[in-house]
Amino acid sequence: MKKILVAGGGGFIGGHLIKRLLEKKYNIISVDIKRKCDWYQIFEDVENIELNLEDKESCEKAVSNCSHVFNLACNMGGMGFIENNKALCMLSVLVNTHLLMACKKFKIEKYFFSSSACAYNTNLQNEASIKGLKEADAYPAMPEDGYGWEKLFSERMCRHFTEDYKLDTKVARFHNVYGPHGTYDGGREKAPAAICRKIALAKKKREKSIEVWGDGQQTRSFLYIEDCVDAVLKLFESNVNEPINIGSEEQVSINKMIDIVEEIADYKVERNYQLHKPKGVRGRSSNNQLIEKKLQWRPRYSLKEGLKFTYEWISKQI
């Protein structure tokens, strides 16, 4: 093997993936559009490059000396960011398209694309208590506007590059990945990090309440980052080319997650529900039948265990 390219290596999942790949003694090129001082994790034994991978020539430069590519690069964030930046999210289609073209040109062996549960049909997610979403539930297509459409279109691009050019592509639909060394403020953070931050700040300032977007009854399943990386590496080393869920089946309401973080923090808060704020679909969780069958993978960390690590890290940061 030559080198592994991690696109979006300065991001949350990218940083954790690089750490694991380094433990396996791989040579890595990490590329991100952000300035290096803004990368969540940066490693000395890695070739770290600032590049805008929306640009075709930049993708060719990044890919040219590699044999394997992980594409984790995109504009994304929590529901507030996604609902207010639809065009910006859709522009990430340029990253996947140009990376795939570069992979074809330089005869890359394997390509990983990070998709999202936002690719699923939103008409199936109108109730708080729903069955886990199976991979086939992405069609007929009606994903989250903007971000979800970009992910679904990019999945199809991967499929056709496998069919037409024999590029070995892997597609993972991530379900709300969280953990330390990620965004916890600024508008791009997701619910677990936001709740940990709000309760940690309330405890520090001795405040009695926090704001909660929506009524707190909306449900999701959340996957701890170490479980996510385990599944990504299993998928990458497999012969699976179809999109596959990487998530947890432990469905909880936002209110329940607040209960868990309150217990971890040993601090109770009142909840000021913001019904006008973006809140996404009413209910969503993963069905893991396919990944259990194909990869024999299950999450190792419960939500409470993962939130404990996440809360402790965020509390130290603030």
Check if 147 is active-site: yes
Rounded to the nearest 10 degrees, how much is the dihedral formed by the CA atoms of 306, 310, 312, 314?
-170
Catalytic one of 147, 178, 301, 311: 147
Backbone angles phi, psi at 273, to 5 degrees: -75, 130
Chain length of the chain: 318
The pair of structure tokens assigned to 141 is 């297509």
Catalytic positions, written as ranges: 147
